[in-house]
Amino acid sequence: MANELHHTLYATAKGGSPLTGPEYGAKDAHRIDGAVVGDLLYVDDVVGSPRALAIGSAGQVLTTSSGLPAWATLFASAQNVSDDILFSWGDGNDTVSLNRSTSLAADTALTNVLVGTPVTSAVAANSFVLSNITASGDFLFAGNRGGNSEEFLFFDSSAGVLYLSGYNGGVSLVLDADPDAPDAGYAMVWGNAAGSIRGLIVENDDNTNVASDAELLIRSGGASGGDPQLRFLIEGEQNFTIGLENASSDGLTFSAGAALSINPRLIMATSGATFSFQQAVEVNTASGTNLTLNAQGAGDLILQTGGVTLLTLDGGNDSLIAAAGIRIGADSGDNEIDDATQGAASTTLYIGNSSIDVTSDVRVKSDIELWDGQATVLLNMIPVKSFDYDSHVPFGGIYDGKYVGLMAQDVYRVAPWAVNTQGGAYCRNCLNGVDCSTHSNPWTVKADLLTGMIVKGIQELTERVKILED
Ligand SMILES: [Zn+2]
What average pLDDT does the segment 93-100 reach? 96
What pLDDT does residue 395 have? 59
What average pLDDT does the segment 304-330 reach? 91
**190 C-alpha to ligand 1 centroid (Å):** 76
Strand partners, 253: 243, 267
**424 C-alpha to ligand 1 centroid (Å):** 5
**439 C-alpha to ligand 1 centroid (Å):** 4
**348 C-alpha to ligand 1 centroid (Å):** 26
**388 C-alpha to ligand 1 centroid (Å):** 22
Residue 168 has pLDDT above 50, yes or no: yes
Q: How far apart are CA 280 and CA 100, in angstroms?
A: 67
Express each pLDDT in 233-250 by its tens digit: 999 999 999 999 988 777
**410 C-alpha to ligand 1 centroid (Å):** 16
**383 C-alpha to ligand 1 centroid (Å):** 22
What average pLDDT does the segment 10-18 reach? 50
Residue 464 has pLDDT above 80, yes or no: yes
Please check whether residue 75 is in contact with residue 61, taking contact to mean a CB–CB distance below 8 angstroms. no
DSSP 327: E
**423 C-alpha to ligand 1 centroid (Å):** 8
**358 C-alpha to ligand 1 centroid (Å):** 29
**382 C-alpha to ligand 1 centroid (Å):** 21
**31 C-alpha to ligand 1 centroid (Å):** 147
Residue 10 has pLDDT above 50, yes or no: no
412: how many CB neighbours lie within 10 A of its CB?
Answer: 21
**426 C-alpha to ligand 1 centroid (Å):** 8
Express each pLDDT in 347-400 by its tens digit: 677 776 666 766 677 887 889 999 999 999 999 999 999 888 776 555 555 556
Residue 1 has pLDDT above 50, yes or no: no
**452 C-alpha to ligand 1 centroid (Å):** 28
Residue 11 has pLDDT above 70, yes or no: no
Q: How far apart are CA 467 and CA 457, in angstroms?
A: 15
The whole-chain average pLDDT of the chain stands at 87
What average pLDDT does the segment 4-33 reach? 53
Express each pLDDT in 186-234 by its tens digit: 999 999 999 999 999 999 999 999 999 999 999 999 989 999 999 999 9
**117 C-alpha to ligand 1 centroid (Å):** 94
Which residues, at least 6 apart from 126, have a Cβ–Cβ distance to it below 8 Å? Answer: 83, 99, 100, 101
Q: How far apart are CA 465 and CA 56, in angstroms?
A: 159
**Which amino acid is located at 127 in the chain?**
S
**422 C-alpha to ligand 1 centroid (Å):** 9
* Angle, alpha carbons 419-424-429 (nearest 5°): 115
Q: Would you say the pTM of this structure is higher than 0.85?
A: no
**404 C-alpha to ligand 1 centroid (Å):** 25
Q: How far apart are CA 45 and CA 50, in angstroms?
A: 8
Rg of the Cα trace of the chain? 55
**351 C-alpha to ligand 1 centroid (Å):** 20
**438 C-alpha to ligand 1 centroid (Å):** 5
Express each pLDDT in 396-447 by its tens digit: 555 566 788 999 999 999 999 999 888 899 999 999 999 999 988 889 898 8
Task: State the Cα torsion 312-315-319-320 to the nearest 10°.
Answer: 20
Strand partners, 327: 336
User: What are the DSSP calls for 251-284, one per residue?
Assistant: EEEEESSSSTTSSEEEEE-SSTT-EEESS-----
**442 C-alpha to ligand 1 centroid (Å):** 10
Express each pLDDT in 249-284 by its tens digit: 778 999 999 999 999 998 888 877 778 888 888 889
**436 C-alpha to ligand 1 centroid (Å):** 5
What average pLDDT does the segment 148-175 reach? 95
**430 C-alpha to ligand 1 centroid (Å):** 4
Percent of the chain with pLDDT over 90: 58
**429 C-alpha to ligand 1 centroid (Å):** 5
DSSP H helices in 320-431: 375-380, 408-414, 428-431
What pLDDT does residue 321 have? 92
**433 C-alpha to ligand 1 centroid (Å):** 9
What pLDDT does residue 337 have? 82
**441 C-alpha to ligand 1 centroid (Å):** 9
Please check whether residue 46 is in contact with residue 39, taking contact to mean a CB–CB distance below 8 angstroms. no
Q: 23-32, 321-330, 416-425 — which is least confidently predicted?
A: 23-32
What pLDDT does residue 15 have? 53
Percent of the chain with pLDDT over 70: 88
60: how many CB neighbours lie within 10 A of its CB?
Answer: 14
